[in-house]
């Protein structure tokens, strides 16, 4: 009996320590995200990250052996959370597929913009060592397949227009990942507002037409109380006089990449 109680207590204490360590690692990740955004991922050093996290370099190395491991934790954790969100959405039997896809889009932006404060670290897969990069690529491919499966299901149910699901999935994910290039935490709109605006825009873009062919099928819009994304003529987070790009110039840049 005493042994069982001790085993149970040790298990609880171990789980508590694991959660505490995970929370501390996430705090460090957010500090690193600020450094990455300020200095760039390639130029950021562990000493600078330690200072931002209010740690000594030695304490930082207790949690992460180096920048490679920190980047891997960032990418691995982010894609795991996005996979969980995609699986949860796909498992729903009551929501329309449009709402399932919208939930995935919101979760994607929450984990990349809110938790990582808009840093592009989750995109820097080529900076990882080959053995680390391989596992991330496999998970990212699985996530893309989950998004693609939602689109296929929406087409089959008549919610989405017939389309190339692979092409549409990549277009959606590309748009979501690009937000890390222009988002600024100090800007006017919250991540939730941006996520709702983009989810509404992207899902409406693939909605099936009515039988008369004149109008798109109605897809629920963003939640009340949240502003839509600004038009291309307005300035987004951190843009304007400070020298950062407006959405209009970002769109021109996106166009130049295609």
Any bridge partners for residue 216, and if so which? 209
pLDDT at position 258, please?
36
Segments in the chain forming alpha helices (H): 2-39, 46-52, 57-63, 67-91, 97-109, 130-156, 165-182, 191-205, 247-257
pLDDT at position 147, please?
97
pLDDT at position 108, please?
95
pLDDT at position 110, please?
92
pLDDT at position 55, please?
93
* CATH code given to domain 1-64: 1.10.10.60
Q: What is the pTM assigned to this prediction? A: 0.73
* Of the options 1.10.357.10, 1.20.1250.20, 3.20.20.70, 2.30.250.10, the CATH number for the domain spanning 67-257: 1.10.357.10
Contacts of 85 (CB under 8 A, 6+ apart): 103, 104, 107, 108, 111
pLDDT at position 119, please?
66
What stretches in the chain show pLDDT beneath 70? 1-11, 13, 117-119, 210-258
pLDDT at position 99, please?
96
With beta carbons less than 8 A apart as the criterion, state whether 109 and 178 touch.
no
3-class DSSP state of 66: coil
In the chain, domain spans:
1-64, 67-257
Taking the C-alpha atoms of residue 143 and residue 138, their distance in angstroms, rounded to an integer, is 9
Token digits of residue 129? 């060592």
pLDDT at position 101, please?
97
- Nearest Cα neighbor of 179 from 253, 256, 100, 119 is 119
pLDDT at position 126, please?
87
pLDDT at position 226, please?
35
């Amino acid at each position: 009996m005493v042994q069982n109680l001790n085993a149970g207590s040790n298990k609880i204490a171990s789980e508590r320590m694991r959660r505490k360590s995970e929370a501390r690692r996430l705090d460090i990740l957010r500090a690193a995200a600020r450094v990455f955004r300020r200095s760039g991922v390639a130029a950021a050093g562990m000493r600078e990250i330690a200072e931002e996290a209010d740690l000594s370099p030695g304490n930082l190395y207790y949690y992460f052996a180096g920048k490679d491991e920190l980047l891997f934790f960032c990418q691995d954790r982010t894609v795991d959370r996005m996979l969980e969100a995609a699986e949860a959405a796909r498992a729903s039997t009551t929501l329309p597929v449009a709402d399932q896809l919208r939930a995935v889009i919101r979760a994607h932006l929450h984990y990349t913009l809110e938790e990582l404060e808009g840093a592009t670290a989750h995109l820097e897969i080529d900076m990882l060592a080959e053995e680390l990069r391989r596992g991330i690529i496999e998970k990212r491919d699985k996530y893309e397949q989950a998004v693609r499966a939602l689109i296929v299901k929406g087409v089959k149910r008549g919610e989405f227009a017939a389309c190339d699901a692979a092409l549409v999935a990549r277009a959606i994910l590309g748009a979501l990942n690009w937000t890390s290039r222009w988002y600024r935490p100090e800007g006017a709109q919250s991540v939730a507002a941006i996520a709702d605006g983009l989810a509404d825009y992207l899902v409406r873009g693939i909605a099936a037409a009515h039988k008369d062919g004149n109008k798109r099928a109605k897809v629920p819009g963003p939640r009340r109380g949240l502003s839509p994304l600004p038009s291309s003529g307005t300035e987004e987070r951190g843009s304007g006089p400070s020298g950062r790009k407006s959405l209009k110039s970002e769109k021109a840049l996106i166009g130049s990449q295609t």
